[in-house]
Amino acid sequence: EVQLLQSGGGLVQPGGSLRLSCAASGFTFTNYAMSWVRQAPGKGLEWVSAISGTGADTYYADSVKGRFTISRDNFKNTVYLQMHSLRAEDTAVYYCAKVEVTTIRAGFDYWGQGTLVTVSS
Amino acid sequence: DVVMTQSPLSLPVTLGQPASISCRSSQSLIYSDGDTYLNWFQQRPGQSPRRLIYKVSNRDSGVPDRFSGSGSGTDFTLKISRVEAEDVGVYYCMEGTHWPPITFGQGTRLEIK
């Protein structure tokens, strides 16, 4: 059974940093790209970042480029989202998502439980 | 970037009645490999999104057969043949044809009348 267990959310001040983690199980982790999608309070879904199975290729939404870094540890079956220079508009529930096949354009077949990031003074 | 436009944004439905959600893209979603990367997700209150349909019309495992997807090019539809109470939530279309980025529609909130 595929499971994505997220951790690392919380309250952070504007300009601060936070790291999210997503521990995966139930599938061969290195074979799949992974992604982060966020949802601001009461709003819709926004794709944030993605990383290939090897970790060699990374992708970012324009809204987070230069501030967020996605990475993965294929020994620990974990994907991370390091967030710097956080802004109030980054406040959201962040979801980790597994890409369905080898191509990210196929979208996401499994999602984590979500973790709330609140950026406020 | 491609713009995905869903309608209606709010959908009150009587139990047992059909429901239909439209999703229109600003560009064709037919990819060069011949596939159309248009998915549908359901998000029940307080839950993570769950994929219902992939590549326009393929139902995910465990998804009731009252859910169906159709469409081509720029116009797509999610249909529920007979709405049940557990179908309450927000439905999103998502396109990956023009990756990067991945683009979602605004969401359609389905409620019971």
pLDDT in tens, A73-106: 999 999 999 999 999 999 999 999 999 877 899 8
Number of DSSP helices (H) and strands (E) in chain B, helices first: 0, 11
Pick from A56, A78, A81: which is nearest to A70 by CA? Answer: A81
pLDDT tens for B60-104 read 999 999 999 999 999 999 999 999 999 999 999 999 999 999 999
Give ∠ CA A99-A104-A109 in degrees, rounded to 5: 25
Paired tokens of A109: 């077949």
B-chain CB neighbours of A52 within 8 Å are: none
Specify whether the CB–CB gap between A77 and A25 falls below 8 A: yes
B-chain CB neighbours of A105 within 8 Å are: 31, 37, 96-97, 99, 102
| CB atoms inside a 10 Å sphere around CB A9 | 18
Give the pLDDT band (50/70/90) at residue B19. Answer: very high
> Would you give the distance in Å from CA A95 to the centre of its chain?
6
- Judge whether A112 is closer than 8 Å to chain B, CB to CB: yes
CA distance A74 to chain B (A): 23
Alpha-carbon gap, residue A89 to B104, rounded angstroms: 18
